[in-house]
Structure 1
């Protein structure tokens, strides 16, 4: 799978763009704030239906315009396309191969895209909710039914929390038991999917991390559950009195976390910025491999400001891992662009893109 053409109208700083791209490595280089990351963002929206930079896609509409238009043409076994129309009023319409899509769920599973951005490093070091969100997003790409289980679980947890906060009569305990009975099945589905994904993720992360770091460091990833997969109903029952006392749900998939260790030490405490970046690159490459294994299609890989804080050896090792993957790389450093001798180079300046020959 690879992107062949991207058209943009009134998207970010692009008044109009209509540009072809190539299989292999495409490098977008130029000074900062010229529109390099905007191209990656547009590709991500066409693949995943949302920006990786802002919560409201309406913020991507060019200032003074009512809407933005995005069109991505790509090759699977045949020519295919995705169109996205984003309104400043937050309305969004989607088309797949020219046919209107009913919802975002219909878009997922067409143009597969995996992105690395500097913001991803927060996932490894900051709140557990970021790691849970990452897991849920990646699993949803390969198991659409997981989305429904997660939505139902989240809805019931909100209802249970509301009941726990009220504690207005003696029947609250019975109400909580009823919610727990509903939650048990969804917890089982979520845990099964998350743990299965983490096991596969850990395997691929170790493999890719060794390739990028030169085998000098060892990574392990462990899913930390607050309700064990065996005995879910019994655990929820034991927690009831504590939850009634505290007035909130104290355990469940919404409280779980990922533990990431570098050479046996917590990465949140002991990793340098370069080590952290190497880890997240390995994680994102592992996500791509899982998607490829699950769907039979090689996703498009987007690497934003990927070379920052990597030494020359790790840069070269990273590039070796990208063989056979269409990759879009942004950099503000001309020297990094020259490092990519076999890449297709595109100079980005003030919302325009011009292809340049290497050398």
Structure 2
């Protein structure tokens, strides 16, 4: 699978721009703030119906305009093209069309065009709370398993209702045991699906993550990723009974898969406390590349790989290791942004396949 042509209209700082893309390597260079990352974000939106950083769709519309439109021509296999259009008019619902036919449910679309994006804000995976790491798990598994995505939506809807009920009962100084028990009976089934699929994913992901880090860092440190969940101790219905008084006191659900974490370590210590900037960048790259490899194995074809400013803060040896890794392995179609034109030229000089290089200035490709 690859994206052969991308057209962007009124998206972020782009008024109208089309890109004819290489099936293997596409490089975007230019100064900061010119729109390089926005190209990758447009590809990400076409694949997953959302911005990489979670921005509300209304903030993606170009200033002064009333809508944005993205169009991508994908080649699924040789001679099997398909056109995807994403449209968002301000104040209305976004629409995704495939060959002119709109999807009635976005959940039916997620996973058809898998993608992995590596960006500077990935540092939140390590430095922030467990919510970002759960989002990492969910983003991967939602592209792999429609069953997972459906159960995630069900669980989150029930969780929202349960938390609202706990808060209401506290404010009104009442206790509706019947309604609470009704919610509690519905939540263990989807929770079990989330737990089992996350556990299975981590078992597959962990050795890949360790191998990629070893390749990037030349074996200088050891790393680990461990899945932690309340459901390792007991089923959710048992945990609900055990934590009922605590939940009522705090007015929220204090146990369940929404509290899961992917604990991250370097040389046996929590990575956020001990890693240098270069080690942290290598760590995050290995996380994303392992995510990519899991998606490729599960989907049976290579996802798109979007690499935003990945060489910043890496020493020369780690840059060489990473470039060698990208060139030596079959990563399918790759998109790279970098402010240094010379570094981009060095990458393509060592790349034997087809490639394209675009110079970006103020939301336009000038070369």
TM > 0.5: yes
Contact 2:111 2:142 in 1 (8 A): no
Contact 1:191 1:229 in 2 (8 A): no
RMSD between superposed Cα atoms in Å: 2.0
Q: Which runs of 5 or more residues in structure 2 are unaligned?
A: none
Partner of 2:58: 58
Contact 1:149 1:190 in 2 (8 A): yes
Partner of 2:356: 344
Aligned partner of residue 243 in structure 2, secondary structure: helix
2: CA distance, partners of 1:200 / 1:11:
37
The offset of 1:50, in angstroms, is 0.9
Aligned partner of residue 76 in structure 1, secondary structure: strand
TM-score normalised by the chain length of structure 2: 0.90
The offset of 1:70, in angstroms, is 0.9
Partner of 2:266: 262
Partner of 2:159: 157
Change (3 A) 1:60 1:155: closer
Change (3 A) 1:181 1:320: same
Contact 2:205 2:290 in 1 (8 A): yes
Aligned partner of residue 161 in structure 2, secondary structure: helix
Contact 1:188 1:229 in 2 (8 A): no
**1:76-126 per-position Cα deviation (integer Å, ceiling 9, x unaligned):** 112122111121224322111232221322322222211011111112110
1:330-341 aligned within 5 A = 330-340=337-347, 341=349
Partner of 1:72: 72
Q: Which runs of 5 or more residues in structure 1 are unaligned?
A: none
Paired residues, number: 355
Aligned partner of residue 154 in structure 1, secondary structure: helix
Partner of 1:111: 113
Match of 1:315 among 313, 319, 335: 319
54-63 vs 131-140, which moves further: 54-63
The offset of 1:175, in angstroms, is 4.3
145-154 vs 127-136, which moves further: 145-154
Aligned partner of residue 227 in structure 1, secondary structure: helix
Contact 2:188 2:235 in 1 (8 A): no
2: CA distance, partners of 1:142 / 1:228:
23
The offset of 1:295, in angstroms, is 1.0
70-79 vs 6-15, which moves further: 6-15
210-219 vs 243-252, which moves further: 243-252
